[in-house]
Structure 1
């Protein structure tokens, strides 16, 4: 990573204690970029990973031994998984990296899009601080949506760590849908502000919503026939 990228850091990470790190996501190499950056800043990087990966021989053992956190993706198990992950973070004083968008941003110009609630649910469950992070430059080596590698040595990469986000107004509301949505939006706004600082540009006034633009969360077109008339697409 030191050969591929020339890191420029701004900000610091809490040196100890459980922390949720919430970065923007615009390149497939982001996890490696952020993981290495966290290591350089003095903390061990941990990630949330699909529970099914932990059942794969060798891979599962490595994930367990390196302190990664398994999470069930099914809807019925999502809340319980969040609580279990939160307790594990507190017990181990871990820093875990969670991408709030859940996938590569679909915003045409690479700005953060609407976030998912997982990071906030975990934070509110055990009063764990969320620290926003923005990076820019990773896509020069691995372009967004392109499964290819462009060897560009010492590519400039900016890595900005923000201050912990104040979610005190939502304390005790870990089971309130309205509070979760508001807190998630606040997290995405803070990440966007950091990216505006890096890029020297102003992001769109409203967070990009792929559903409003006829896409699923993974960027696939929505089939109108699959939408129930009683349920809004949002």
Structure 2
């Protein structure tokens, strides 16, 4: 691995899942030359429960050990929580004082030369046409606090395997997974400034604009409506009805 030896659990998962993914997916991966050396924050859009596995496939094949921020409730869950802990994932303690600690762990990991993957939306998109929503500020906050690059990564295709919030897995016919790595988001004018909420939101808007632009290029179309603001989402979550693609 380019960024150090992976934990044994990740090596085991790769051994089991990678051969399957090679069979059930086609891979259209572009822009890997934009991946910096050393530590950085990887910020992908989120459009399916299976896309962490698929984006991890991309990372592993480019020498990056997958390391995500994961909800503390999942990290404590029986079975899957044990797997995530053994795979050295970073817990996020939402709505508690521990949230600051989880950010510190992510910042330190990036400073130490690791790649930390943070979904800026914080949840699977609720856009009916699966465009990126607005983002939360975690990915930007970690990148700015660490003084390291923030790299947007757009993925398109996982939603054809498992539509957002659906339980219907569709492995056949074989799906193409498109991954685009963009240039690191330009944050030079923000380094050294106080990380206020307006500054973090401005930087996050730049990130989401980059992800949307990359998706538009792959899809050959532009969003037909305004970007959904994640701060206005009502609960419980909307359940999508899978559509034919």
> For 1:103, which of 123, 126, 129 is the aligned residue?
123
Runs (4+) of structure 1 exceeding 4 A deviation are 52-61
Structure 1 alignment gaps of length 5 or more: 221-234
Provide the C-alpha distance between the structure 2 equivalents of 1:146 and 1:61, rounded to a whole number of angstroms: 25
Equivalent position SS for 2:109 = helix
Provide the C-alpha distance between the structure 2 equivalents of 1:180 and 1:111, rounded to a whole number of angstroms: 21
TM-score between both structures, scaled by the size of structure 1: 0.83
Instruction: Note the C-alpha offset of 1:40.
Output: 1.6
| Structure number with higher helix proportion | 2
Equivalent residues in 2 for 1:63-142, closer than 5 Å: 63-91=84-112, 93-142=113-162
Q: Name which of structure 1's ranges 200-209 and 187-196 shifts more when overlaid on structure 2.
A: 200-209
Equivalent position SS for 2:134 = coil
Is 2:35–2:181's contact at 8 Å kept on the other side of the alignment? no
Is 2:41–2:118's contact at 8 Å kept on the other side of the alignment? yes
> For 1:160, which of 177, 180, 196 is the aligned residue?
180
Equivalent position SS for 1:156 = strand
Provide the C-alpha distance between the structure 2 equivalents of 1:64 and 1:150, rounded to a whole number of angstroms: 29
Which string of whole-angstrom CA distances, capped at 9 and with x for unpartnered residues, describes residues 17-50 of structure 1? 1111111111111111111111122211111122
Which string of whole-angstrom CA distances, capped at 9 and with x for unpartnered residues, describes residues 168-202 of structure 1? 11112353111011111111111111101110111
> For 2:211, which of 180, 191, 212 is the aligned residue?
191
RMSD: 2.4
1:34 aligns with 2:55: yes
Instruction: Note the C-alpha offset of 1:84.
Output: 2.8
Aligned to 2:237: 219
Structure 2 alignment gaps of length 5 or more: 1-20, 239-245
Closer/same/farther in 2, CA of residues 178 and 156 from structure 1, 3 Å limit:
same
Provide the C-alpha distance between the structure 2 equivalents of 1:125 and 1:153, rounded to a whole number of angstroms: 44
Q: How many residues align?
A: 218
TM-score between both structures, scaled by the size of structure 2: 0.80
Provide the C-alpha distance between the structure 2 equivalents of 1:60 and 1:155, rounded to a whole number of angstroms: 29
Closer/same/farther in 2, CA of residues 58 and 139 from structure 1, 3 Å limit:
closer
Closer/same/farther in 2, CA of residues 15 and 170 from structure 1, 3 Å limit:
closer
Q: Name which of structure 1's ranges 68-77 and 129-138 shifts more when overlaid on structure 2.
A: 68-77
Closer/same/farther in 2, CA of residues 121 and 158 from structure 1, 3 Å limit:
same
